[in-house]
Amino acid sequence: MRYEKGYDVDHNMRVVKCPKCENEVFSTNASHCKLCSTKLYNTCEGTPEYDGYGNVVDHQFHNNPGNARFCETCGEPTYFFKQGFLKDWEEEKAELEQKNEMNILEYHNLDGVEETSESEDDVFDGDLPF
């Protein structure tokens, strides 16, 4: 199954349109939307890096595709998912399955014939065929 919902990103993994306010004009090096301050990269929460004493000294953040709910590198939740820009995958899967079922039903009804509850055999008009 393909999960199509998400946000288009450029070759640097930056969205081409802000997922919150839909602004499409960004400076070359912008990492946040200048109108609403939303992150323009779907980064993960990051994995901590520790020093020799066990103290966190840095975090390693990874950029992800516009439809990623979890990081493809470390498995941590992504910014777009945590902000609610992306639905849970199970919810999207149910929507896709329902859409596929609707498409199948519409395909079978393309001949324009309406289905009725009674067949020709069920209707008796009182005249015998002989």
pLDDT at 69: 95
In this prediction, what percent of the chain has a pLDDT beyond 70? 80
Tell the residue number behind the tokens 């349109």, with chain if given: 17
If DSSP codes are grouped into helix, strand and coil, which group holds residue 14?
strand
Averaged over 126-130, what is the pLDDT? 66
Q: Does residue 38 contact residue 19 with C-beta atoms inside 8 Å? A: yes
Residue boundaries of the structural domains of the chain: 1-110
- Backbone dihedral angles phi then psi of residue 90, each to the nearest 5 degrees: -65, -40
pLDDT in tens, 30-89: 999 999 999 999 999 988 899 999 999 998 999 999 999 999 999 999 999 999 999 998
Quickly list DSSP for 59-75: EE--EE-TT-SB-TTT-
Q: Which residue did the predictor score with more confidence, 120 or 63? A: 63
What is the reported pTM? 0.68
Q: What is the mean pLDDT of the chain?
A: 85
The CA angle 8-88-75, to the nearest 5 degrees, is: 80
